[in-house]
Amino acid sequence: MKTGLFVLLLIASSNLVAQAISFEDCSVSPMFMTWDTPASFASGDLKEYFNEVLPIDYFKSVSKKITIQILVDKQGKACCKSIFNCETLSPDYLKEAIYRMPSWTPAVFRGNNVNVSTIVKLEIENGLLIKATNLSESSKASDITPKGKVAAFDIEEALNNIATLTELHLYNKGINTLDSRVVKLENLKTLNLGKNNFEIIPEEVFKLKNLTFLQIYDNRLRTIPTSVTNLIHLQMLLLSNNYIETFPEELSLMRQLRIIDITGNPLKKGEIEKMKALLPNCQIISKH
């Protein structure tokens, strides 16, 4: 089993966020951070594909490395979420090239196809694309998880694997409270509470000090408590499709936060601009 967290941590580095171009019409849920087999481009070589579909002079005299965040759903359909380091080039050509891609082979987890995020790195020298790499497929042996489960789908399974567990997926469970025993999961890095009935973020969440990725999209949240600042390692926060109108000023303390999705919330006028000021190094996804 391999983990996809390195893909999103690459996106989250501050120097890349400052240069990111995001496309809010690209989304999948739930998005898995763990897989047994990564998503792969099923129709030949990535470099050959891009050279075939992009304009012949697209890269001109450019010499740089471009990274593309691609979401691949469980049917193998790809879309372009973000492009990094694409100055002087038109991102629309790359976006269209990804939308036109033949089906990928989806990622597999526990025998089922799952939605994932992957990164493709393009290396350009003197206007020529010389290499295109799917980083999910090129992960090293050190990315292989230790013996024992790293992901669980209910609290009992999680508690039986405390030593190795880093992900807990409780999406679409119809719950509005969180089992208090979750605080025992001291190594937890990913918590998915999406598609439930939470009206507030449970206090137990804020005791998970090592959490880096929190998904609580498609719930009934109306406010974000200041306790969220207790999550000192949180880098990604997905809050889309709730009822949030405003965010606390204390978000400015979350300097480690790199991506926050607030799409589909009834935000008050000026709220997005306020958040950009509070979180200057964070990519704010905000179409609503």
Per the model's pLDDT, the better-predicted residue between 134 and 24 turns out to be: 134
| Residues 43 and 127 grouped into a single domain | yes
Q: How confident is the model at residue 212 (pLDDT cuts 50, 70, 90)?
A: very high
Element (H, E) at 185: none
Q: What is the rounded CA–CA span in Å between residue 92 and residue 99?
A: 10
Q: How confident is the model at residue 72 (pLDDT cuts 50, 70, 90)?
A: very high
Report whether pLDDT(5) > 80.
no
Helices (H) and strands (E) in the chain, counts: 6, 18
| Residues 125 and 40 grouped into a single domain | yes
| Residues 118 and 100 grouped into a single domain | yes
Q: Whose structure tokens read 């880098």?
A: 235
| Residues 209 and 248 grouped into a single domain | yes
Question: Minimal CA–CA distance to 155: which of 120, 124, 176, 185?
Answer: 185
Report whether pLDDT(15) > 80.
no
Q: Which residues contact 256 (CB under 8 A, 6 or more apart)?
A: 232, 233, 234, 235
Q: Which of 27-36, 76-85, 164-173, 225-234 has the highest mean pLDDT?
A: 225-234
If you average pLDDT over residues 129-158, what whole number do you get? 68
Residue type, 243: Y
Of 119, 139, 159, the one marking the end of a domain is: 139
Beta bridge mates, 117: 71
| Residues 29 and 66 grouped into a single domain | yes
Report whether pLDDT(199) > 90.
yes
Report whether pLDDT(11) > 50.
no
Q: Which of 63-77, 146-160, 194-208, 222-236 has the lowest mean pLDDT?
A: 146-160
Of 93, 114, 139, the one marking the end of a domain is: 139
Report whether pLDDT(148) > 70.
no
| Residues 41 and 167 grouped into a single domain | no
Domain coverage including residue 62: 2-139
If you average pLDDT over residues 108-134, what whole number do you get? 88
| Residues 31 and 131 grouped into a single domain | yes
Element (H, E) at 159: helix 155-159
| Residues 80 and 35 grouped into a single domain | yes
Element (H, E) at 70: strand 64-72
If you average pLDDT over residues 53-71, what whole number do you get? 88
Question: Minimal CA–CA distance to 37: which of 117, 108, 132?
Answer: 108
Q: Which of 19-33, 84-98, 138-152, 247-261 has the lowest mean pLDDT?
A: 138-152
Q: How confident is the model at residue 146 (pLDDT cuts 50, 70, 90)?
A: very low
Report whether pLDDT(28) > 60.
yes
DSSP letter at 218 equals S
In the prediction, which pLDDT does 202 show? 95
Q: Please tell me the number of Cα atoms within 13 Å of 204 on its side-chain side.
A: 16
- Sequence-ordered strand ranges (E) for 73-115: 78-84, 104-105, 107-109, 112-114
Element (H, E) at 46: helix 46-53
**Mean pLDDT rounded to a whole number for the chain:** 84
| Residues 276 and 150 grouped into a single domain | yes
| Residues 44 and 86 grouped into a single domain | yes
Q: How many residues are given for the chain? A: 288
CATH of the domain at 166: 3.80.10.10
Q: What is the rounded CA–CA span in Å between residue 276 and residue 252?
A: 10
| Residues 11 and 31 grouped into a single domain | yes
| Residues 232 and 246 grouped into a single domain | yes
Domain total in the chain: 2
Q: Please tell me the number of Cα atoms within 13 Å of 20 on its side-chain side.
A: 25
Of 111, 139, 167, the one marking the end of a domain is: 139
If you average pLDDT over residues 8-13, what whole number do you get? 46
Report whether pLDDT(19) > 60.
no
Residue type, 184: K
What sign has the CA pseudo-torsion 195, 200, 206, 208? negative
If you average pLDDT over residues 40-51, what whole number do you get? 90
